[in-house]
Structure 1
């Protein structure tokens, strides 16, 4: 058996192959048809290798998404809050498209029926990204881009809620113009215009 760095390289190579196979199979046939057997065959590994690292196909897809959603873990801070929010929301849209074969869509659907998977999804993927989203908005408050009394929980719901609403009801993800309009309206609602002194 390989030892030391050779073993680590082999393990990492197998892990990457498994994640790549998982994404390919989801894109080809959808999450519902995904099986551990199919992943193993596509990746060229045994099922025992997969089960040694993940308890289920949902756990494999969760790791795949955790690595793919890189914008959400380190939101841009360009000084243009609207542009930075567009980058964050665009990543969600891309990970949810096309709806019938995107790995994230199938995972969220299964998590609604599997409390343990739902907990893992929330703790590993969702909550850390909510935290970084709020950090970006706090910086916007510090620099005056956003009202200091803006409710960041409400901001989260107003920005992300429409995406999942459209996803759940099969309305299609917003295009660039629709997304820009959403961001504009939300920021307008969260940052009231300055009060003007009464006209003498």
Structure 2
């Protein structure tokens, strides 16, 4: 039997998530412990375990909350403007504390099934939002009718993850506009 969500104290929930985020940023994912989170949040470990099975679950909960507030998908009616805005928002999110936490969760997902499931769930939500926006652009004639939408998502966001996760090179401010400009011929309808 799972706990009654209506009984969870929202202030305690936010304190736990904030404590987990701060510890992860300060010390790294591997050093985050339930004991440290409880001490920093001013709650009992039992309170944490009542609502989350692991540190990854706490961080995933917080990542979803922050991602949804910071990197939603705009719809101005111009897909290239929207992609430029959204990818800039994602890159800004990755450059901050969120990025350190997300990187830790991605690393944990390589060996922890719970973290892997959470990372896949969060990515799936982001992919679905982008696919929906791309589909709308296809309907509006802004993108090719035969465009494989999930492949387009991978082509658009792959460079962000590659440069950010691997640190292959410094990323200039115009990185994603340059990437999108390079992809535009493959995305746009062909003119006769």
Task: Tell me if both proteins adopt one fold, taking TM over 0.5 as the criterion.
Answer: yes
Q: Aligned-pair distance for 1:192?
A: 4.6
CA contact (8 A) 2:145 2:189 kept: no
Work out whether 1:23 is the aligned partner of 2:45: no
What is the alpha-carbon distance in structure 2 between the residues aligned to residue 89 and residue 110 of structure 1?
24
Q: Aligned-pair distance for 1:82?
A: 1.8
What is the alpha-carbon distance in structure 1 between the residues aligned to residue 189 and residue 51 of structure 2?
50
- Find the structure with the greater CA-based Rg: 1
Superposition TM-score, scaled by structure 1 size: 0.84
The 1:149–1:79 alpha-carbon spacing in structure 2 relative to 1, beyond 3 Å, is same
Residue 102 (structure 1) aligns with: 100
Report 1:124-139 matches (<5 A). 125-139=122-136
Q: Deviations over 1:97-134 (max 9, x none)?
A: 258971111001100111232122212x1112211110
Residue 82 (structure 1) aligns with: 80
Work out whether 1:152 is the aligned partner of 2:149: yes
- Per mean C-alpha deviation after superposition, the further-off stretch among 143-152 and 63-72 is 63-72
Superposition TM-score, scaled by structure 2 size: 0.87
Q: Aligned-pair distance for 1:193?
A: 3.5
CA contact (8 A) 1:72 1:88 kept: no
CA contact (8 A) 1:21 1:42 kept: yes
Structure 1 unaligned spans of 5+? 1-6, 196-200
Q: Deviations over 1:56-111 (max 9, x none)?
A: 11111100110011268841101121221123223332332258971111001100
Equivalent of 1:142, from 139, 148, 152? 139
Equivalent of 1:186, from 180, 183, 186? 183
What is the alpha-carbon distance in structure 2 between the residues aligned to residue 158 and residue 191 of structure 1?
14
> Between Structure 1 and Structure 2, how many residues are aligned?
188
Q: Give the RMSD, CA atoms, in angstroms.
A: 2.4
Structure 2 unaligned spans of 5+? none
